[in-house]
Amino acid sequence: MSTEESHHDGAEVAARVERRWATISVIIIVAMALLAAFAGIHRATMPQPRVETTDPSRLHLSGEFVESNLGSVLETNGNVTVRAIGQQYSFTPACILVPADTPITLRATSADVVHGILIQGTNVNTMLVPGYISEQPMRFARTGDYLMPCQEFCSFGHEGMWGKVKVIDKTEFADRAKGGGRLSCVGQ
Amino acid sequence: MLVNRKLILAHFWLAFAVFGIALTLGAWQMFIRSPIGTWLSNPELYYRSLTAHGTVMGYVFPTLVAMGFGYAISESALEQRLVGVRWAWAGFWLIVAGSIMAVIPIALGRASVLYTFYPPLIGNVFYYLGVVLVVVGSWIWVALMSINLRVWRKAHPGAPVPLAMFANVAGSYLWAWTAVGAALELLLQIIPVAAGLKTTIDAGLARVFFSWTLHAIVYFWLMPTYIAYYTIVPRAIGGRVYSDTMARISFILFLVVAMPIGMHHTFADPQVGAGFKFIHSAFTALVTLPTLLTVFTICASVEIAARLRGGRGLFGWIRALPWDNPMMLALAFSFVMLGFGGAGGLINMSYQLDASIHNTQWITGHFHLIFGGAIVIMYFAIAYDLWPHLTGRELIDLRLIRTQLWLWFVGMMITTFPWHWVGILGMPRRMAYFDFGDPGIAPQALSVTLSAIGGFILLASGILFLVILARGMRAPQTDAGPYRFALAVHQPATVPVALNTHALWVGLMIALTLTNYGYPILTLALNEGTSVPAVYVGAQ
Amino acid sequence: MTARDLFTFRNRHFTAAVGITAAILIVTAIGGFIVLPFAQPWVQFANVWDAICSAAGLPQRAATVAAPEQTRRLSEVVLTSSTLARPNQEAIGRGATLAQRCAICHGPTGISRADSPNLAGQYAAVIYKELHDFRSGARTNAVMSPFAVNLTDQEIADLSMYYAYLPRLPAYHPTPQLPKPNIVIYGAPMRGIAPCGSCHGSLDNKIGSPWLEGQSEAYMKAQLQAFASGERRNDISQQMRNIARAMTPQEIDQAAAYYASQPPDVVKAVD
């Protein structure tokens, strides 16, 4: 066997090993993509399904983010909807009250600049971009207090923009909801 | 054949000088918001520093390194004097002018909007104009790389383009196109508002434009590092590149799939449709392919070096590697950090897991590990490798160099690992101070303190790096010989057209950008109702 | 080696690259636009077209929601950074004439001898908003409300620009300058209180928030208490009530005393 040939054989071997590795890499990637799709179908946290718009400087005049409509409301089907806004430098309501073990829809938007809502210890995490409405499903397994900081720089008071979430027992929430109106734990 | 050494040295020195300043700011930021610092009586100072740190580290420093390294590659790999030296200097001075123009409003506290801009927050117009000048200066470099390759091709019809130059030009095209997103955002949206010509701006559209730039820019930062992996490391440790073809495919893949994936930064955004988010997520998964291929090829190349040095056994060859060689050390550190950083990146890009860490300190930990760690440590190695060829003087103290690399690696580990951890605990990004006395976040205090200590180790390493380079300017003279790049085991005599030119891949890159960004950008741009009033930052 | 050799389906690299890219795009598009939307049972789509449009991100106006009646009248002012951003001399002149009737309480130079707010050099948007709120009844005051009720939009704008134009003079409540209390410097992050200056001018100005240096201590304290108790509600979407409610009575005292003791020149003049 001439050196020429062995050189050629070497190249063949190298290419074959390489192809094998490339195949393994592709399999890894496809597996990851399938995993993502599977998790998506089985109700992991998903990006919101729709893009909805609103006018941030007129939120307080009409529509679903007027002051009297901010807070939590028990819907007729037993689910809860929470409406909130972020503004420099607070969330309204500053303390969100929700029941445990209940499907909850968070609908929120920003009145001025880009903010973010993050509830510590949960997967609830969404941007608030002025002009657009953010929607995220959430569900709390246990009662207690959670911190809810703003997670995007919103000018020089950003470090002071911390809200709270209070998760209470389902029946207690239903009792409080009997009075109508929008619930929050502000001032409690 | 390095002729224009002064040009290359000017780029490197400016890059490392601004790096030193930004690193110092970074260490201060880590300290001041940690439990061992005291709360700032003016939080704006923190955001001012953060803006300077991000702008320099994101836009100025890596761009200058890529440019200086690019000129060096063009001259030495093509063995051809740089064509357009005057233009190259013009590009350099544009970057100097742009940096100064951007830094003055930052230093005065008139542009503390952070390097991501995020309108409707609006700072002083000169900040944005400065950033534009930096980008324009770097586009001159892109054009020069393309022209130099063309000149060489004319003189060498049909010959395989040296791998280093092939990759270098791929990197320059990637930068040219990825910078377009931020450029459109600045020119069409932000600058008219900052200049007072308009009063409203679509914040959602701006975020989409920025995501166009924000992810692929990371691969632009990565390019010099990958070029070093393939074309410098094997030569420096006495080995060969396992496969020239696979190397080309990796760089081509970066060109094609680095671009249309940026919307994984906007998974939590309300203005982008879920379908496009999924597509971008899938393409982000694809971008792991060139990295997986690279890990294989480089490990194989290193193994070749070890076996040539007499290494034996399934893993025994690892001991035979030249561990006292700074390049070997840097590569090993870089790979470790790339491994951890890449694993973290898989979480960020996954459609669902992202929600648990989006915009937390995890993200800052992640990109510091990848960029500050895996990438920048190879910038150090590139500088060490090139320095004798640029200065004609030897870097004598290898022990000091190894100490510097060790410090950087250890510092980066101590900084970023706790940083990731507090992110998982839900610590938000970009806050000037935290009340660690509150029981809700008290458990994060220890981790944040550790990160701050890591920051000081990094600062020490950075200072050491500058000292080594400065001492290298006064070391005894030596003839370092011509600057060479690693050869492949099977050096190709011919290369298929597709793997020897960029046209097809640039075409695919642009096509994928149109498919993945065209519709979201158009709908947002044409939708009248979503422009919101600008919010000008700063005292009145 | 020409473009014609490269961009042809006879070139297997071209065919493979374009084919694979297109295939991935199509598969992921089907996944993202059709499969995933329908695989989420908690979201309802009218038809495939609706699912595709939603997944593509076609902006939709939010559906109207029946909100409960407001129990009290709230502010209806829309403020943006361009509100009264361009003062003009005529408006300032008209404002000067109108302002004569304000001088009894707010002083001939816009500096009050009583516990009414000093208006000289105040941000135009602030005066504009408060006058509108007094006029609409979103904010009430026995003295102010009757004055505001007959003002036209034009008059409110003129007055706002006039007072914004006046130089910021020292106040009539001279007290030794007090050290900055923690609540003013740092706020209280975990209670959701940002530093006062991040809205009230010295760090940043949130549109509609006044600068406070040299104002009457009694006035500021009363307003903070009114915000905290919910008696005053004309702050849009509770932006100030959120803060005042979280402050302790002692912090309210400290903040009011501190700002009253400050000379107005620490705030940069409006240019």
**Which chains are adjacent to chain A, needing at least 3 Cβ pairs under 8 Å?**
B, C
Query: How many Cβ atoms from other residues are within 10 Å of residue C216's Cβ?
Result: 22
Please state, rounded to an integer, the average pLDDT across all residues of chain B. 94
Omega into A146 within 30° of 0, i.e. cis? no
User: B504 and C37 in contact by Cβ < 8 A?
Assistant: no
Superfamily of domain A52-177: Cupredoxins -  blue copper proteins (2.60.40.420)
Q: How far apart (Å, rounded) are the C-alpha atoms in residues B330 and B392? A: 23
C201: confidence class by pLDDT, cuts 50, 70, 90: confident
* B367 is known as an active-site residue: yes
Which alpha helices (H) appear in B156-202, and where do they start and end? 163-184, 191-194
User: C62 and A63 in contact by Cβ < 8 A?
Assistant: yes
* B53 is known as an active-site residue: no
What dihedral do alpha carbons C247, C251, C256, C258 form, nearest 10°? -140
User: C237 and A92 in contact by Cβ < 8 A?
Assistant: yes
B182 within a domain of the structure (yes/no): yes
Note which residues in 328-347 of chain B have CB less than 8 A from chain A.
346
**Average of per-residue pLDDT across B33-42:** 93
**Average of per-residue pLDDT across A23-44:** 79
B540 within a domain of the structure (yes/no): no
A95-114 pLDDT per residue, tens: 999 999 999 999 999 999 99
Q: Is B504 on the interface with C (CB under 8 A)?
A: yes
User: C55 and B274 in contact by Cβ < 8 A?
Assistant: yes
Residue B477: give its domain's CATH number. 1.20.210.10
Measured between beta carbons, the chain B residues lying within 8 angstroms of A48 are 270, 274
Q: How many structural domains does chain B have?
A: 1
Structural domain for B110, as ranges: 5-434+442-528
Please state, rounded to an integer, the average pLDDT across all residues of chain C. 89
* B215 is known as an active-site residue: yes
Query: How many Cβ atoms from other residues are within 10 Å of residue B491's Cβ?
Result: 11
B493: confidence class by pLDDT, cuts 50, 70, 90: confident
Grouping H, G, I as helix, E, B as strand and the rest as coil, residue B426 is: coil
Question: A118, A133, A145: which to substitute to probe chain B, counting the most B Cβ within 10 Å?
Answer: A118
How much is the pLDDT for C270? 37
B406-455 pLDDT per residue, tens: 999 999 999 999 999 999 999 999 999 999 999 999 999 999 999 999 99
**Partner-chain residue, chosen from B42, B505, B533, that has the shortest CB–CB distance to C80:** B533
C141-168 pLDDT per residue, tens: 999 999 999 999 999 999 999 999 999 8
Instruction: Name the catalytic one among B368, B389, B393, B502.
Output: B368
C224: confidence class by pLDDT, cuts 50, 70, 90: very high
Q: What is the largest CA-CA distance in chain B?
A: 71
pTM over 0.80: yes
How much is the pLDDT for C236? 95
User: B285 and A45 in contact by Cβ < 8 A?
Assistant: no
**How many residues in total does chain C contain?**
271
* B251 is known as an active-site residue: no
Q: Is B275 on the interface with C (CB under 8 A)?
A: yes
Q: How far apart (Å, rounded) are the C-alpha atoms in residues B506 and B65? A: 23
Instruction: Compute the C-alpha angle C58/C64/C70, nearest 5°.
Output: 140
* B115 is known as an active-site residue: no
The C-alpha of B505 sits at a distance from chain C's nearest C-alpha, in angstroms, of: 9
The C-alpha of C246 sits at a distance from chain B's nearest C-alpha, in angstroms, of: 15
Grouping H, G, I as helix, E, B as strand and the rest as coil, residue A74 is: strand
Grouping H, G, I as helix, E, B as strand and the rest as coil, residue B68 is: helix
Listed by start position, the domains of chain A span 1-44, 52-177
Report how far apart, in Å, the C-alpha atoms of B513 and of each of A97, B120, C257 are.
Answer: 43, 25, 58
Q: How far apart (Å, rounded) are the C-alpha atoms in residues B66 and B172? A: 8
Listed by start position, the domains of chain C span 8-56, 89-266
Domain boundaries C89-266, corresponding CATH code: 1.10.760.10
Please state, rounded to an integer, the average pLDDT across all residues of chain A. 89
How much is the pLDDT for C3? 62
How much is the pLDDT for A2? 46
DSSP, res B310? T
* CB-based contact B489:B243 (threshold 8 Å): yes
Q: Is B38 on the interface with C (CB under 8 A)?
A: no
Measured between beta carbons, the chain C residues lying within 8 angstroms of B534 are 81-82
ipTM of the complex: 0.92
B172 within a domain of the structure (yes/no): yes
B533 within a domain of the structure (yes/no): no
